[in-house]
Structure 1
Amino acid sequence: MDPKRELTSVDLAALVGELGTYEGAKVDKAYLYGDDLVRLKMRDFDRGRVELLLEVGETKRAHTVAPERVPDAPGRPPQFAMMLRNRLSGADFAGVSQYEFDRILEFVFEREDGTTRIIVELFGQGNVAVTDGEYEVIDCLETVRLKSRTVVPGSRYEFPDTRTNPLTVSREAFEHEMEHSDTDVVRTLATQLNFGGLYGEEICTRAGVEKEMDIDEADEDVYERLYSAIERLALDVRNRNFDARLYLERADDDGGADEGDGTSGEDPQPTTDSSADRVLDATPFPLEEHGELAAEPYDNFLTALDDYFFRLERADEQAPDPTDQRPDFEEEIAKYERIIEQQQGAIDGFELEAEAMRENAELLYAEYGLIDEILSTVQNAREQDRSWDEIEERFEEGRDRGIEAAEAVVDIDASEGLVTVELEGSRIDIDASEGLEQNADRLYTEAKRIGEKKEGALAAIEDTREDLAAAKRRREEWEADDGDGDDAGRNEDDDVDRDWLASPSIPIRENEPWFDRFRWFHTSDGYLVIGGRNADQNEELVKKYLEPGDTVLHTQAHGGPVTVLKATDPSEASSSDIDLPDSSIEEAAQFAVTYSSVWKDGRYAGDVYAVDSGQVTKTPESGEYLEKGGFAIRGDRTYYRDTPVGTAVGIQCEPYTRVIGGPPSAIDGQAATTIDLEPGRYAQADAAKRLYRRFRERFEDESFVRKIASPDRIQHFMPPGGSRIAEE
């Protein structure tokens, strides 16, 4: 069983009640981590500081967390977080609701200047949309443009089409959904009634209904039991009759329930978790479907979720690094061998049990007259309204007289209507209400069912044998690789050869250089290129950072940045004797044209000119005027005609961990991975989110990408205007 990473509709229905107890709390601040985790810091009059996390990425959750567990605040709040702060600072939390039975929560905040609604979509790719009181979208993490609905800034927020809410469904609507299904009961509950897989199975178990029962075989009694189970569940949710549980697999019992599973009797206190225990689920009340798992009780569901996701994240972070240590192949191989031994024992047991069933059926036929006499005696007595006690006394009298049929009867179960007979040393239960043929057929059918279980076990053992063979192959490959060289003495200086994408844990080594607020990159020859983001920065570059020996580049097109190819760092002595490589100048030219209006206009090339720093002046010719950020050129210019636009965004892991961007020829050699861009139809913010998701897919350590490469940081290195990934 894999750990739960997304809250269910039932979870959200339970959460609404508990989150509602924080109504009246005031919002202090909002944060955004990456492109999928929103944190709201609030103050509650009675309970003090309240931290609310809303995550809509691969993990989808919404719950409060203990203050000591909140992630460190990002260094630079992105635009989305600033928008939230502007709208929510000092606002009152006015309530939360679930949309129908969908995985959507709507948080409402009130302030004197208006209402703000935060709509959290915990399904599909996930989304957080911020709207005003009339549901007009102010901003959203993901823009949605589908035939069925649209979620974009400036438009009215559109909820998905409504679905059946099983917690409020009438009996007539319930039967309608069931009768119009073409699958089995559990799938109908999961899809038609929208319970999802886990709670669909839970309803069946609570109702005592076989999950795989075909819907055509379900009668009125089945419907009644299912609907009653649904009503009880709905009543628990409405009345907040919760008894939260955190389910886990103990390291010492391979997932079996222990005496302290907390599913009945007095609730024990949550045990101190071992780092080897594996959390699997957190639910608002005990589930019979999790009866085989160890469980820890909690006072409320919010606390259970906080602990669950904290321990889940910690387990992910503490997973051993396969690149740093030898996997325990022996333990893995031994585990598969134990499983095969157990599976083989089960197969042998199935064979013996099925064979015994068939032999018993044949014994019934072999003693046809005897069994028929026993069944006729019982059936005639029942037709004469004789009690089971009287029937048992009659067989006892028969044994005393030496009647063979009576001597064969060794027990009678009045509650089940079963008679146990002993034939050739085997004891066989026969149903007294049926004939010999029906009893024999039942035994043959049971033998067939056990045979099918054996077939399933045979398939499972073959899978395990393949797993065993694969583990042995991995051991051989590891040992072969280990013999190719000695990794002893490996240290951080070897990072240049490290496979960063496959590393499950990448250390953060941050550095904010003086030029980070400008556009910048280092050429493939190691020279720094900086460009202005606006007129103020263009002005600053020319006045403050332009030194002898530098080269200045600019596009012929209007609206380009002042681009300076630095011959030296400002902390070094300047020199006009440095001969800058042509390759660096060409990369700087591509940088200049890429971040100009050429890209914004959707063109793929433009003209760029280059001059020495001494040719640039802020003093205009007589009678002329220079705008802010403008400059005058004296002397000849060197032109680079039809310079192609082109940029790449990458993630650098050594010597620092950060996002970088610039011409692909320069960036490719400096980053662990890069993505090339070209002019396209995606707005800058949307394109940045697409890049962010691509990077998360490439790195084994997704948390590393979230920490250093948020969409906002990626956008920092992207050209103005629309973009698209070059390979798409």
Structure 2
Amino acid sequence: MQKKEFTSFDVAAVVGELRKRILNSRVNNIYQPNDKTLLFKLHKPENHALLLLFEAGRRLHLTSYTAEKPITPPAFCMALRKYLRNSILFNIEQYEFERVVVFSFKTRSGNLKLVLEIFGEGNIILVDEHNIILHALTCKRMRDRNILRGEAFVFAPPSGKNPLKLSVEEFCGMLKSFGDVEVVRMLARFLSIGGLYAEEVLLRAGIDKTRLCSSLDEDAAKAIFDSLYSMLTQIMEGKLEPHIILDANGNFLDVAPLRLKRYEGLNAKSFESFNEALDEFYVHLKAFEKTETISVELETLKRETERLKRIIESQETVLAEAQTEAEHYRKIGDALYANSNELQMLLESFLKELKDGKNWKEITSKFLAEKKACVKPSVFFEGFDPKKLIINICIDDLHFSLDLRSKLFDSAAKFYELSKKAKQRLAGAKAALEESRRKLVALEEKIRAFEAETVKPTISVEEEITKRRIKRKEWFEKFRWFKSSDGFLVVAGKDAVSNEVLIKKYTAPEDIVFHADVVGAPFVVVKTNRKQPSQQCLKEAAEFSAAYSRGWREGFAAADVYWVKPEQLSKTGASGEYVPRGAFVVSGKRNWMRNTPFRIAIGALVNEKTDEARFVGGPVDAVKAETKAYVVIVPGDVSGKELCKHILRRLAEKMPKEKREKIEKVSLKEVMNLIPYGKGRILAE
């Protein structure tokens, strides 16, 4: 992937779209998933909730993907909530064709501006109506301006001339003034449109990008200006061709609001809006970066593991040496005490010979001769060092030296002290070794986890994207609903308000309306789409109508249900009689379906792509058409929570082994919502 940041053209294109989509939206909430990213949850009556994503220094667009949010919002996020929550976004503009966007909000305390800088490290600055900085993502002092709370806000110095305010004469004059500079560099610097669009302008004008400005005549200069003006006009008039450019392997290479000659011959994926294209591109880029980061971290972990193994090897050597030393010095101390009489005699004898003026070589020869003859205590003698005045001793293969100037038991104490110090080192070495081994185990576990995530990066990217995609609810998901066994959508009200909305807003003249002959029963609508539903579909809709009526709570076994056409429903009662909310007056013929049983099925499905469990509830035949894993429930006295546990256990047993865990992890609430009046019992199979 190549594209990492926005260009001025990108900013202009996305701002143009945002003005059409989100002006006059209300700010419902603000989130800050990470250090540089903000998510604005916006609401407009005619739209779903919209999520506007700001990433300082990088991007701006609407998004259909979620992001993990910290449990405690950062201070900057909290400040923005304080000032901007429930405000109205009334203006969006690009500042001087720079990578800077200014959002204007109408709040109770006055108008505020939020400035998004999409260049360099980026920043997001909240400014009051007097142009004073209230808060900033990053506060700092700079050579040309300060971003500090309480100070006046100043825009960054322009990185180039605003091409929208440039006349052809001005452009030609500037072109000449650059002399022996390549024309592509002049465009990129002077207009600050970036290398990609500077090259595109020249490609469209038919001018070699390496030509020097001084070599261009008036016709060439005008051709370049016309090419630039044409692209700007297309952007500013919103005549976009949003698309993602793909490389030969199908990887995302770039995202652009216009078709670019530079990418001719490459595959492209088109989108209805530039916002959608940006959203798709960056969510892939983020997921790809995540897998790349994992790979880099994996290599780092492996290097750290090798380093740790070398440390452990060294520590094991130190430990072994300390153990040997401690034992060795203790044995010497023990040997000195065990043979103290003989050794004392040896030392005294040696010292006497020296005092008698004998040569040390002569003395050594004498003791070695006695050693050879196995005369005690000379058998312990091995040699003498006249410079250090130490006598070398060997007892039972223990080789050590004794200082002639020290007392024998002082020497023994010295060796015991050396043994003690070695034991202390031994304890430290053991602790260090255990810590290193613990770290190694933790690292190896981490490596296994990372390797599991990087088995196949392309799959990881798709999984990451699928996981984060916001699931938009269909209109009927606000109600109770099911798909009949022959594919018709059947929708039921949940209460008086939803009954009213269902009939008034979502029922078409060709639909069929069901109602159980039980007080407090919901209205149930079969959405026919001008097709004739089967008798089976009508039977299932009748069962649905009965099951979610109060008859379930009362423990009925069956009830009568009727169906009518929508035009038979009215809010006008006889003689001006009041018709309460959620109720309708039914006139004309009622089509009865007698003795409709009270029963529903609850089934489980696992999405093969997302690996997520989903539950369906409705008439037995309808649920049976969707899944083999289902249970049938009827009115009963088992409480909802207990019944849910029984249902989940039964469903898990009916699922393949590898999918049971998905069912067992589901919240009881998901199943509880499907149980009429929160109680019942499982019908014996």
- TM-score normalized by the length of structure 2: 0.44
Structure showing greater radius of gyration is 2
For normalisation by structure 1, the TM-score amounts to 0.41
